[in-house]
Amino acid sequence: MTVRPKIRPKTSTKSASARGKKNLQKDSAYEEYDIDGDGVVSDKELAAKKAIQEAETQEEKADAQRNMAWLSLIGMLLFTGLVFLPIFPDSRIEVLADLFGLFYIGMSGIVGAYMGMTAYMSAKR
């Protein structure tokens, strides 16, 4: 009977990073990417984090556009109310009449574009 030598795992003298194992630096900004807190930043966690960030960006964009649409709507109403106040002389209204038309078209364009865009986006999902 021959005695076969036992195969032992080689103990490497290389450092962790040289063997292909990667570590984050101390207090890395990417530590938050370890969502489940197991000390490993997996591809799945990176993908999840990316998806979350994209969703947040989309939400911020949607919020800004909604605010703009509201501002346009409120602006039109305030402007209309302001023009009917007695402090606004008739002569000035006559001079600026063409400009007022453009103002309403511009403001309602923003509101309409917002409505159309949100309807299109919700239909696309």
Measured from the CB atom, the residue of 34 and 103 that comes closer to Ca ion is 34
What does the alpha-carbon distance between residue 67 and residue 56 come to, in Å, rounded to a whole number? 16
What does the alpha-carbon distance between residue 117 and residue 123 come to, in Å, rounded to a whole number? 10
Smallest distance, Å, CB 41 to Ca ion? 6
Exposure string for 47-56, b = 16+ CB within 10 A, e = fewer: eebeeeeeee
Helix axis angle, 90-124 to 43-83, nearest 10°:
160
Measured from the CB atom, the residue of 28 and 57 that comes closer to Ca ion is 28
Measured from the CB atom, the residue of 31 and 36 that comes closer to Ca ion is 36
Smallest distance, Å, CB 28 to Ca ion? 14
Residues at the interface with Ca ion (CB under 5 A): 34, 36, 38, 40
Smallest distance, Å, CB 81 to Ca ion? 57
